[in-house]
Amino acid sequence: MASTEITSIGRFLKGAIDEVGFVDLRPRLESEGWMDKLVVSRFTPWSYRGRIFGIPYDLHPVVLLYRDDLFKAAGVEMTEVETWDDFIAAGKKATRDLDGDGKIDQYAIVLDRRTESDFFSLLLQQGGGFFDEDGNVIIDSELAIETLAFFTALFNEHKIATPVYGTWHGDPSNFAAMQDGKILSILAPDWYVGILKSQVPQMSGKWKAVGMPAWQPEGRRTTTRGGTMVGITKQCKNPDRAWELLKFTYFDRPGLVNRYETTRIIPPLKAAWGCPYL
């Protein structure tokens, strides 16, 4: 078996279908009833021309983590924020120069503009993407342009966002800024919550979570970011045994619950959601 992350899968799922190095798992999934037991949409990144080449490791829903105490100190109740327009209004109250030196010390949100991660999350929340159903590049679509304009406006027009400190959201300098109260919110998938709990336990209890602001009233309050799959390579000498091992590793309810307790990664197996921890 082999595992790959979502940013790398494109190098494997391209060209002629016979050139893909993974075994098509759709026949096994359908014949054993797994398609009804799993979140089917999570197969999308690991599918190519109607075939499924990997089992999803995760769901990775995104929430808005925020410092409730610091937003309240600015007169903002985050549970009342429903849309991105609401968030901008709240963010302008919370983004402040605390020491009067003319420089902003506290920003409403931190966003990654080194990579596509936060922009792509916002685009997915709107129902967009980088490719259409036929594999055509649509990064220049009206929706993508609209989303990018909104993203940049958070920095340039509204001035409520700060770029990530260091190289990414999990950089030690970014954690330090969160501890120091320079960052009041962050778009966080489930795995980031796990990293936060393990890497900076001293912030336990200081951060709360709400659904992401929607693009319009009663709109979608989440998105997804990241993903990992496991598949069976065509070089595998015993694919039947590999399939049984894959099911034991990825479809075992107690094992998935234990993984959630340590990493906060939500599994795509619906039966695991009945656990009180999930």
Contact present, 213 and 82 (Cβ < 8 Å)? yes
Domain end position, chosen among 211, 236, 257: 211
Please state the pTM of the whole predicted model.
0.90
User: 225-229, 245-249, 273-277: which range is least confident on average?
Assistant: 273-277
Strands, E, within 72-150: which ranges?
109-111
Instruction: Assess whether 66 and 192 both reside in one domain.
Output: yes
Average pLDDT over residues 19-46: 96
Among 193, 187, 195, 217, which Cα is nearest to 122's? Answer: 187
Total number of domains in the chain: 2
Domain membership of residue 217 (yes or no) is no
Domain membership of residue 174 (yes or no) is yes
Average pLDDT over residues 194-210: 89
Angle formed at CA 222 by CA 218 and CA 224, multiple of 5 degrees: 150
- Which pLDDT tens digit goes with each residue over 106-157? 999 999 999 999 999 999 999 999 988 877 899 999 999 999 999 999 999 9
Instruction: Assess whether 90 and 75 both reside in one domain.
Output: yes
Burial class (CB in 10 A: 0-12, 13-18, 19+), 195: middle
Instruction: Assess whether 101 and 56 both reside in one domain.
Output: no
Average pLDDT over residues 154-165: 97
CATH of the domain at 50: 3.40.190.10
Buried b (16+ CB within 10 A) or exposed e, 39-67: eeebbebbbbeebbbbbbbbbbbbbbbbb
> Cα 77 to the chain's mean position, in Å?
24
Average pLDDT over residues 18-42: 96
Angstrom distance (rounded) from CA 145 to CA 116: 13
Angstrom distance (rounded) from CA 254 to CA 235: 30
User: Does the pLDDT value for residue 267 go beyond 90?
Assistant: yes
Domain residues for 268?
A: 2-60+226-274
> Cα 257 to the chain's mean position, in Å?
19
